[in-house]
Amino acid sequence: MATTIRPAAPADAAALAALIVAAFEEYRGWLVPPSAALAETPATIEAQLTGSHGAVLAEVDGVAAGCVLFNPQGLDLYFGRLSVLPAYRRTGLAEALITAVEAEAARRSAAGVVLSVRIALPANQRLFERAGYVEVRRQAHPGFDHPTWIDMRKSL
């Protein structure tokens, strides 16, 4: 299994959008509120690959298998839409994508890396904790009277 981790280009937008939707499909119908990741399109992804924003794409044997989007947030680099297709989970791909974002943050001299994770997804929370991220606050989506996500951060 040959894995390549590389910066994504605007030409990759369709592949990234399809990958994100496929990876988040398991949450359709039960995650409340629904994940906005399920609405990604090539156009929405291409718009996120401009200026200081970017993405990392993981390919396994030439097949798009995982990705993550990132953008500056204050002194930190924020990442979201960490996506790994089900067939490639538990192979270290998510960790490799996180490491790639951390390397990008270091290249940009960011103070740290931040992310948001749904409270309803404890396995994802544990993944980020194992990678050294700590909870910094809990927030609620509009219309909710209780927290629905956790913001996490790792200092560099």
Tokens of 68: 């993550």
Sign of the CA dihedral 86, 100, 69, 110?
A: positive
* Fold classified for 3-111: Aminopeptidase (3.40.630)
Label residue 98 by pLDDT band (50, 70, 90).
very high
Query: What is the DSSP annotation of 25-61?
Result: GGGTTTSSSPPGGGG--HHHHHHTTSTT-EEEEEEET
Q: What is the pLDDT of residues 16-71, one digit of tens each?
A: 999 999 999 999 999 999 999 999 999 999 999 988 999 999 999 999 999 999 99
Q: Where are the domains of the chain?
A: 3-111
Label residue 1 by pLDDT band (50, 70, 90).
confident
